[in-house]
């Protein structure tokens, strides 16, 4: 964000406003230090069941945050509401990430480790992620990655999802279209992908949601995918390469 963040080091009362970064804080061993998370921070399960919730990533409960007396709040440019972050910055140290590429994610992991006093552990996680991604198989297919229904929405360029698709060697049929465009049925048919990924989040796609598109694309393959492996950019990335390699994809010569 280009800002200077001043805080008492190491922080003792941390609030995370981003699910993937919450999981990272857990893997950095900050069980006592993390005092608040969002209602979407479902990993790890024991934190989800026990840690105080401070609202959602967009709808933040300011009074709950105030009651928890944080000495550091960690958020993300895309996932959190700008106006809410600006309010929080007036009272608390707020550190923000901006993650689009894998290099961004690795930098974020090491930067969070440094700011919370877990530098050695964060570097080890980042290095292991880099090593694991070198094993990702190159797959030849044209893919449409869907994140929403009514309206249909896909993941385009300048997104972390797009980065993950390209890491797999896939061609994103929305390459060149920024962010998360809305799509008509006619546009989807015109894109004519080999493969459609129906993500588990933010819309919880199920088999029944695929039927509307099957008649439009009778030769395409439809796959339900775990969106966390494509969009969570913290320590979840340790497992993403194995998940990607296990997907059975369809390509064209």
**Least confidently predicted of 24-28, 155-159, 207-211:** 207-211
Say whether both 32 and 91 belong to one domain. Answer: yes
Of 132, 161, 177, which closes a domain? 132
Taking residues 152-164, what's their average pLDDT? 96
Q: Do 148 and 117 share a structural domain?
A: no
180 or 2: whose pLDDT is higher? Answer: 180
Looking at the structure, do residues 61 and 161 belong to the same domain, yes or no? no
| C-alpha distance from residue 185 to each of 41, 129, 150, 174, 179 (Å) | 33, 37, 11, 14, 19
Domain assignment present for residue 174? The answer is yes
pLDDT above 80: residue 251: no
Q: Is residue 104 located within the same domain as residue 148? A: no
Quote the pTM value. Answer: 0.92
Residues 224 and 159 in one domain: yes
Alpha-carbon span 186 to 191, nearest angstrom: 9
Please state the rounded mean pLDDT for residues 105-128.
97
Domain-terminating residue out of 132, 157, 184: 132
Residue 5 domain flag:
no
Q: Which residue segment(s) compose the domain that 166 sits in?
A: 142-246
pLDDT > 90 fraction of the chain, expressed in percent and rounded: 89
With 50 as the cut, is the pLDDT of residue 220 above it?
yes
Q: How many domains does the chain have?
A: 2
Domain of 123, CATH number, reads 3.40.50.1980
Q: What is the pLDDT of residues 25-44, one digit of tens each?
A: 999 999 999 999 999 999 99
Query: Does residue 178 sit in the same domain as residue 214?
Result: yes
Q: What whole-number distance in Å separates Cα of residue 161 and Cα of residue 100?
A: 8
Q: Look at residue 253 and tell me if it is in a domain.
A: no
Query: Contact 76/21 with Cβ under 8 angstroms?
Result: yes
> What is the arithmetic mean of pLDDT over 206-210?
89
Average confidence (pLDDT) over 134-143 = 92
> Are residue 156 and residue 196 in the same domain, yes or no?
yes
Query: Does any domain span residue 201?
Result: yes
18 and 106 co-located in one domain: yes
Is 151 part of any domain? yes
User: Does residue 72 lie within any of the structural domains?
Assistant: yes
Residue 240 lies in a domain: yes
**For range 207-214, the mean pLDDT:** 88
Bridge partners for 58 per DSSP: none
Residues 151 and 118 in one domain: no
Q: State the angle between helix axes of 102-115 and 19-27 in degrees (0 to 180), rounded to the nearest 10.
A: 50
Could you say which of 132, 150, 176 is where a domain stops?
132
- Is residue 2 in a domain? no
Q: Do 110 and 213 lie in a common domain?
A: no
Asked if residues 56 and 38 have their Cβ atoms less than 8 Å apart, the reply is yes
In this predicted structure, what is the pLDDT of residue 212?
A: 86
Question: Residue 250: its pLDDT value, please?
Answer: 57
CA atoms within 13 Å, Cβ hemisphere of 151: 11
């Amino acid at each position: 964000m280009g800002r200077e963040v001043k805080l008492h080091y190491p922080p003792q009362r941390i609030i995370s406003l981003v699910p993937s970064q919450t999981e990272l804080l857990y893997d950095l061993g900050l069980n006592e230090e993390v005092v608040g998370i969002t209602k979407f921070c479902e990993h790890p399960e024991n934190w989800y069941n026990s840690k105080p919730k401070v609202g959602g990533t967009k709808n933040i409960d300011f009074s709950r945050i105030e009651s928890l007396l944080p000495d550091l709040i960690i958020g993300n440019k895309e996932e959190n509401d700008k106006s809410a972050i600006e309010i929080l910055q007036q009272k608390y140290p707020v550190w923000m990430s901006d993650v689009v590429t894998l290099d961004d994610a690795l930098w974020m992991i090491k930067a969070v480790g440094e700011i919370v006093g877990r530098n050695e552990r964060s570097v080890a996680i980042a290095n292991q992620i880099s090593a694991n991604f070198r094993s990702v198989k190159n797959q030849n297919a044209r893919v449409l990655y869907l994140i929403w229904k009514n309206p249909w929405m896909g993941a385009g360029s300048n997104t972390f999802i797009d980065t993950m698709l390209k890491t797999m060697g896939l061609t994103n049929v929305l390459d060149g279209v920024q962010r998360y465009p809305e799509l008509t049925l006619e546009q989807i048919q015109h894109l004519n992908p080999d493969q459609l990924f129906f993500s588990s989040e933010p819309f919880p796609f199920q088999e029944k949601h695929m039927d509307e598109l099957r008649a439009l694309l009778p030769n395409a393959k439809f796959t339900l995918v775990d969106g966390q492996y494509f969009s969570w950019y913290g320590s979840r990335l340790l497992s993403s390469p194995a998940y990607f390699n296990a997907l059975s994809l369809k390509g064209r010569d």
